[in-house]
Amino acid sequence: MRLMTYPDNIQDMIDDFAFLDDWEDRYMHVIDLGKGLPPLPDAARNEANKVKGCASQVWLVSEKSGDIWTFSGDSDAHIVKGLVAIVLEIFSGRSAAEIAALDANDILSKLGLSEHLSAQRSNGLAAMIGRIKAEAAA
């Protein structure tokens, strides 16, 4: 029996990554997650949606309906696009309070990603997470 400390979709993602034995498999899984992202309209690829602090180009779009935030995004780099997909899976479809309460660093650690990302990618990931948390808190 697993300890349910995260919403089901996040726990499922953690469980999926747990089956992958080595970093190469996880790396390929991250890229595959990115391939599954719906395309971001060209109009959304603008300066206002660009995430500052990412070495690759990353765009993040947020929408609020009632109390629920929905995020979409894209990147010009395969691995980063996969990281965008993971961040969207963690935060999209949640209230501001839920977003504030989620510990993304703990989740990324459980996915086995933290220790394998370059400093640039880690900084970019932190920038994405920071932006989502800031928008939801505003």
Structure-block tokens of residue 64: 């609020």
End-to-end CA distance of the chain: 38
Instruction: Give the catalytic positions in this structure.
Output: 54
Handedness of CA 39, 44, 49, 55 (dihedral sign): positive
> What CA–CA distance (Å, rounded) separates 42 from 8?
32
Q: Are 102 and 90 in contact (CB under 8 A)?
A: yes
Q: Which of 70, 77, 116, 75 is nearest to 93 (CA)?
A: 70
